[in-house]
């Protein structure tokens, strides 16, 4: 995926395009990491690259349930577990889940076709008390914000692991040629 979202013709296309870009960017932080490195917590926090990607997939899956009006009770233990790769869980497992969630989000939003479609809020303690409904537009904007915020966390963790940063990783993943100002990331460099 290129470093920039392409031209946008509709609001829905733009929201889904930017969400897809943020999914790509957070996934990119895992590029070339070992299973051990994906679980590493090299900063003051307990966050890992693999855990953040899993959390982003879980968060989007939860909001997809809200759009579909599928009842769900807050499960704080599960919420905490979604920040860590489970024993035996691979990044490929997480990516496959994220792909399924992304496909379902795009299908649901496209089929619904109404960014103003409203769903009632739940009782999560972090929700505003003066809001009783979300609409699809707000949910997509929130998912873009949430995914971008965690992509930033994952960038810092990745850089702490091996010094790799976003654009050299993207250049390596996308096969960009080296230039005087940008050299694609190489394992061990």
91-112 helix and 11-28 helix, angle to the nearest 10 degrees: 180
On whether the CB atoms of residues 157 and 50 are closer than 8 A, the answer is no
> Per-residue pLDDT averaged across 111-130, rounded?
87
> Per-residue pLDDT averaged across 24-47, rounded?
96
Residue 179: per-residue pLDDT: 96
Is residue 72 over pLDDT 80? no
Q: pLDDT band at residue 151, thresholds of 50, 70 and 90?
A: very high
Q: Which is nearest to 89 in space by CA: 139, 129, 48? A: 48
Full-model pTM: 0.93
Quote the CA–CA distance of 70 and 61 in Å, as a whole number: 11
Residue 127: per-residue pLDDT: 81
Q: pLDDT band at residue 77, thresholds of 50, 70 and 90?
A: confident
Give the SS3 label for residue 100. Answer: helix
Q: Is 61 left (phi over 0), alpha (psi -120 to 50) or beta?
A: alpha
Q: How many CB atoms lie within 10 A of CB 71?
A: 7
Residue 61 makes CB contacts below 8 A (sequence gap 6+) with: 97, 101
Is residue 74 over pLDDT 80? no
Q: Which is nearest to 29 in space by CA: 158, 144, 163, 168? A: 158
Distances (CA, A) of 115 to 51, 68, 112, 120: 30, 13, 8, 15
Which stretch of 54-58, 104-108, 120-124, 159-163 has the lowest confidence by average pLDDT?
120-124
Residue 177 makes CB contacts below 8 A (sequence gap 6+) with: 184
Is residue 36 over pLDDT 80? yes
On whether the CB atoms of residues 173 and 52 are closer than 8 A, the answer is no
Is residue 76 over pLDDT 80? no
> Per-residue pLDDT averaged across 4-28, rounded?
95
Quote the CA–CA distance of 4 and 38 in Å, as a whole number: 26
> Per-residue pLDDT averaged across 148-164, rounded?
96
């Amino acid at each position: 995926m290129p470093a920039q979202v392409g031209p946008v013709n509709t609001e829905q296309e733009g929201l889904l395009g930017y969400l897809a870009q943020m999914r790509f960017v957070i996934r990119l932080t895992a590029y070339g990491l070992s299973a051990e490195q994906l679980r590493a917590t090299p900063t003051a926090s307990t966050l890992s690259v693999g855990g953040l990607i899993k959390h982003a997939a879980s968060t989007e899956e939860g909001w997809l349930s809200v759009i579909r009006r599928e009842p769900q009770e807050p499960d704080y233990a599960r919420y905490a577990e979604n920040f860590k790769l489970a024993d035996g869980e691979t990044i490929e497992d997480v990516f496959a889940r994220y792909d399924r969630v992304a496909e379902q989000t795009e299908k649901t939003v496209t089929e619904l076709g109404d960014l103003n479609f409203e769903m009632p809020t739940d009782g999560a303690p972090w929700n505003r008390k003066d809001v009783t409904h979300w609409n699809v537009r707000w949910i997509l904007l929130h998912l873009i914000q949430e995914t971008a915020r965690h992509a930033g966390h994952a960038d810092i963790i990745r850089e702490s692991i091996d010094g790799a940063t976003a654009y050299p990783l993207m250049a390596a993943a996308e096969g960009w040629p080296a230039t005087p100002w940008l050299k694609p990331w190489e394992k061990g460099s």
